[in-house]
Structures are given as structure tokens and as C-alpha cells.
Amino acid sequence: MTSVSISSCLNKAVREHYMSLPQGDKCQVTYIWIDGTGEGLRNKTRTLHTEPKSILDIPEWNFDGSSTYQSEGSNSDMYLIPVRMFRDPFTLDPNKLVLCEVLKYNRIAADTNHRMSCKKVMDQVKEHQIWFGIEQEYTLIGKDGHPFGWPQNGFPAPQGPYYCAVGTDKAIGRDIVESHYKACLYAGINIFGTNAEVMPSQWEFQVGPCEGIEMGDQLWVARFLLHRVCEDFGVVATLDPKPMKGNWNGAGSHTNVSTKQMREEGGLQYIEQAIKKLSKKHMEHIKMYDPHGGQDNMRRLTGRHETSNVNEFSAGIANRGASIRIPLQVGQEKKGYFEDRRPAANCDPYLVTKAIANTCLLDDDEEVKGN
């Protein structure tokens, strides 16, 4: 079967024998980082002599940045700075997964390390207790690039029966989805839920609510877990915002936002104030909402398939065709949160959350920009 990887066909019972061997007092720590594409994740593992109790117990490390699109070969060492620790659902306790920031040889943030600048903004707006929840859509594809489970020389039935569906002919790849869900729970990801999406072989999981910088940390590791789970099943999870041309839904990272004031009685007025500020910086946000300066969203935000038009800002209650959606319940209760539906599936959540916090909570003359 050409759509499934060779690695997934290796004998997992043999692997289980070795995985069950005791490891003494040693601890395996897998360092995870974002590579120079701004989308890809890399990882490597080392042994610690004792189980780390906190992030402070995990040493800095380094890697060859010339092999990850992050430096030149003549000066290629990059630093890995541990920032958040999780349990490892693949090699189990006491082993850990550790998300890292990347610094250049001179200790300056790497070009795709947007966490550092995001944290500065989140520290500035800490008093507002800003919460985020991100709905991560993705599509399962075979290693041949064809959507997993689709007819090899054709298309499935049109969209309609697949969203939140059940049944062999409607829900494709549920084993991957449920395995990823459990892996997230074991790791300590604040995963909210999951469901099948509108296009067949397309799914979604939600992470949050998370306060401030934790949103980006949690979503990046949840993405790592997704790609790692897909390895075992021999299928690829793509975050391409428009994986199939034509009359098929794209994939986004809808971002739910609230502050302490928005969540309290009368909070709707603060939601409306935030939306007004967002309307003034629409195209600046579009440029921040995918890794290619808005080019990916040009393919996705067409005004069709439950999206707004990329060139126009709009907002409305319960309107999935708007840039910003106010949920119906929020409109009724006059408090709660709003949903920014513009971020693409492959967005950097550090840039998205930073841009939103910057625009909504800092002075109007603050610029929305990268590092």
C-alpha cells in the first residue's frame, strides 16, 4: 500500500520487548524545537542521571543549525534553551519531552524563535489575565500526498456527511485521532476536545484555555505529539491551510480570546472594543497569521467554505463567514470570549497570540510585528 510508510510496517511487538526493559535510575529527555521553516519540528534525545523535577533541572543543549535551515555551516552551533516540560507518552515515565527556545551562537533569538518576543508582550499584559484556546485543524494524507482514505483515482462524496460523523464511510483515521488525544492527556497538554471536520480525512483538536505564553507552548507540543503518533500509523498530518483545491474546506487555527474583563458581567463591551482595534490592523494580522506572510491564507480565506475574505474585515454573532465570530451564547450573556477565525492551520501560535494581545491590550501606537 503506497500511501502508508514502510516504518509503520515494522514489527511493533518486537519493539515492545525493548520498550519494556528497565532503564535503572536514568531518564530519557527529548528536546523539541521549531526549525528554520517556522513550521517544522525537530527533536533529539539525551540521558539524564536522575528524573528532572522541574524545567530548571534540564540542561541547555545544542545542535547543528546548518541542517535545520537555521545557520551557515561555518558557524552552525545553536543553543537549545528548555522552557517547558511534559511527560513522554511514547517511552513513558519517568521520561520527558522538553520544548526549547533556539538561540544563535551569540545568544540572540533564532529567526523563527518568536517565543521570546511573545513572552515580553504577555508579561506586559499579565494583569489582564488573557486566555486563549486554539482549534487546530489538520488533514491526514498518505506519504504519496493523497488524502488518506480517499479513492486513489477519484474523490469521495461531496462535503456534508463528514463533520462530527461516525461510520466507516464517513470518519477516516479515528485511530490516529484517539491515540493523539490520549497521548496529549498523558503528556499534560490542556487538550479540550476533538472532532471530525467538514472535509473527509480532516480533523480538529482544541487546546486551552491557556493563559499567555502557555498557549503557544502547549499547541507546539500537541503538534509534535500529532506528528509523532502519525509516524506509528504511517500517515502524515499536514497543516496546509488549503490541502485540496476546489469545493473542499481549508484548515485553520481558530483562536478564541478572552480577558478577565471580557469574562465578567458586561464583558461584551470589552469584546466589542477589542474587535474595533482588530479591524484597524486587519492586514497586519493577516501577514502574521501564516508562516508565509499571508500567502497561505490567500488560498484559504476566499469568503467561501466557512471563511471570510482575506482582504476584508468583518465581525458578527454566530457568523462563521466573518473574520471575528462572537458565539451566540456570548451575545446572549453579554460576556465571554471572541473567536478570531483568520489564523491558518500552520500559523505560529506565538505570533498569533502576541499580535492579538498587542493590538487589543497595548496602546494603539504599538506595532504588530515579529521579533
**Dist. CA 226–CA 243, nearest whole Å:** 17
* CATH number of 163's domain: 3.30.590.10
The three cell numbers locating residue 101:
527556545
Q: Assign 177 to helix, strand or coil.
A: helix
Last residue of a domain, one of 112, 147, 174: 112
| Locus of grid cell 470518519 | 171
**Could you tell me if 33 and 161 lie in one domain?**
no
Question: How high is the pLDDT of residue 310?
Answer: 93
**Dist. CA 126–CA 118, nearest whole Å:** 12
* CATH number of 38's domain: 3.10.20.70
Please check whether residue 2 lies inside any domain of the structure.
Answer: no
Question: How high is the pLDDT of residue 1?
Answer: 44
Q: Assign 226 to helix, strand or coil.
A: helix
Please check whether residue 10 lies inside any domain of the structure.
Answer: no
**Could you tell me if 139 and 275 lie in one domain?**
yes
**Could you tell me if 104 and 128 lie in one domain?**
no
Question: How high is the pLDDT of residue 367?
Answer: 47
Last residue of a domain, one of 50, 79, 112: 112
pLDDT in tens, the chain (371 residues): 457 788 888 998 999 999 999 999 999 999 999 999 999 999 999 999 999 999 999 999 999 999 999 987 667 899 999 999 999 999 999 999 999 999 999 999 999 999 999 999 999 999 999 999 999 999 999 988 899 999 988 899 999 999 999 999 999 999 999 999 999 999 999 999 999 999 999 999 999 999 999 999 999 999 999 999 999 999 999 999 999 999 999 999 999 999 999 999 999 999 999 999 999 999 999 999 999 999 999 999 999 988 999 999 999 998 888 999 999 999 999 999 999 999 999 999 999 999 999 999 996 644 445 55
**Dist. CA 80–CA 113, nearest whole Å:** 11
Strands 315-317 and 324-326: parallel
Q: How many domains does the chain have?
A: 2
Please check whether residue 182 lies inside any domain of the structure.
Answer: yes
**Could you tell me if 22 and 63 lie in one domain?**
yes
Q: What are phi and psi of 77, to 5 degrees?
A: -70, 130
**Could you tell me if 58 and 103 lie in one domain?**
yes
**Could you tell me if 181 and 211 lie in one domain?**
yes
**Dist. CA 238–CA 228, nearest whole Å:** 12
**Could you tell me if 184 and 107 lie in one domain?**
no
> Residue 261's domain spans which residues?
121-361
First to last CA, the chain: 44
In angstroms, how far is CA 349 from the centroid of its own chain?
A: 6
Question: How high is the pLDDT of residue 369?
Answer: 52
**Could you tell me if 70 and 175 lie in one domain?**
no
**Could you tell me if 174 and 291 lie in one domain?**
yes
Please check whether residue 338 lies inside any domain of the structure.
Answer: yes
Please check whether residue 40 lies inside any domain of the structure.
Answer: yes
Last residue of a domain, one of 95, 112, 129: 112
The three cell numbers locating residue 138:
489538520
Longest dimension (CA), the chain: 60
Question: How high is the pLDDT of residue 344?
Answer: 97
21 Cβ contact list (under 8 Å, min separation 6): none
- On whether the CB atoms of residues 334 and 317 are closer than 8 A, the answer is no
**Could you tell me if 134 and 107 lie in one domain?**
no
Please check whether residue 369 lies inside any domain of the structure.
Answer: no
**Could you tell me if 96 and 145 lie in one domain?**
no
Please check whether residue 46 lies inside any domain of the structure.
Answer: yes
**Could you tell me if 181 and 96 lie in one domain?**
no
Please check whether residue 11 lies inside any domain of the structure.
Answer: no
